[in-house]
Chains A and B, each alone.
Chain A
Amino acid sequence: MKHDVRPQVRVRSLRRADIPAVRDGFASGTAAQTTRWSLPRSLPSMLGWYEELTQSKDEHLFAILLGETLVGLCTLRAPRFAGRELTIAIFEPRFRGRGVGTLAVTKLCEFGFRTLKLPRIELGVYPSNRRAIACYARCGFQYEALLRRFMYQDGQWVDVMWMSLLRSEFKM
């Protein structure tokens, strides 16, 4: 039985000083199977990305911390369809399956519905990613569509499951 890490989990706004850890997290490749694949990026390019997104009022970036260590990234982004799009990556495989994602998604939804007063939060997930789908379902997200050949992943166009949570469904 792994010990419960949830009391140590915090979600807060991403800071400029977090960017090297985010860069290393993505470059480690541990999140590649469950997120958008990308080539490793340089620090200046990641800092540029951070500056650009933090200037937009439609984009919200958060660090997932365990104690003082950054273990993941979660965001509310300009939507693919409507509302805002939620994304999440937990870089350290040993912190998966332990409720960290569920906590982070819940925090993002609280922020999105209470503070931003969004009508809807949407997300895409690979159909093979059972653990993430279970996490989103636990948080109240409902299946909307199977978007065929929607993302380019590991060398081919793959299907993406689309889910959403409406403000009216969220328990404030």
Chain B
Amino acid sequence: MPLLQRWMNDPLAQQWLAGLLPRSARAEQAWAARASTDPKRPTFIIQTHSGLDIGLIMLRVIDAHAELGVGIHNTRYWDRGYGQDAVEVLVDGAFRALPLHRIELFVLPDNLRAIRCYEKAGFAREGLLRKYQFARGKLRDVVVMSTLHEEWLLRRDDSAE
């Protein structure tokens, strides 16, 4: 739990976490309790092969689609492909396990590192939602990206050949 609190309050990572104020340990506990029990919000820790916890990845399932959120909160592990790896694993698992036709995500337009990662993981940019959410002191635009069930089927068939 202190880990979660340290992660969420890391200033370097926090600049990309839209809509989050620094949070107390109790707020993190409440969040974690919900994340670990709500079937509509499957949430996972991202670990290195050596077993170090470096980030979080989660889905919010809404009817037949889902919203994905991910963060490599241990900033020393940025730019090493962990995020892309985690996104690919979760997208694959989600399309296998859940009746979803679409997974979408929102990312701040200047977070080029994240946008590149999502593109490599198979997400396509759909547009820019203006004044979408509060981050770094004002209402910000966000890029909306998605990957479709039909695209996942094609990727899966390609990798099977």
Contacts and interface: CB of A to CB of B under 8 A. Distances in A.
Contact of A149 (B101, B127, B133, B139): B101
Interface in A68-98: 81-83
Given A119-B139, A145-B144, A148-B102, A82 B131 contact: yes
Contacts of A83: 131
A53 interface: no
Interface residues of B, number: 20
A148 B126 contact: yes
A144 B127 contact: yes
A146 interface: yes
B128 interface: yes
Interface residues of A, number: 20
B129 A82 contact: yes
Contacts of B144: 81, 145, 147
A162 B142 CA distance: 13
Contacts, number: 53
Interface string B118-161: 00000010111111110000010000101011100000000000
Nearest to A150: B102
B129 A162 contact: yes
B146 A148 contact: yes
A152 B101 CA distance: 10
Given A149-B150, A150-B65, 8 more contacts: A81-B132, A82-B132, A142-B130, A145-B129, A147-B144, A148-B102, A150-B102, A164-B131
Nearest to B127: A145
A157 interface: yes
B126 A164 contact: no
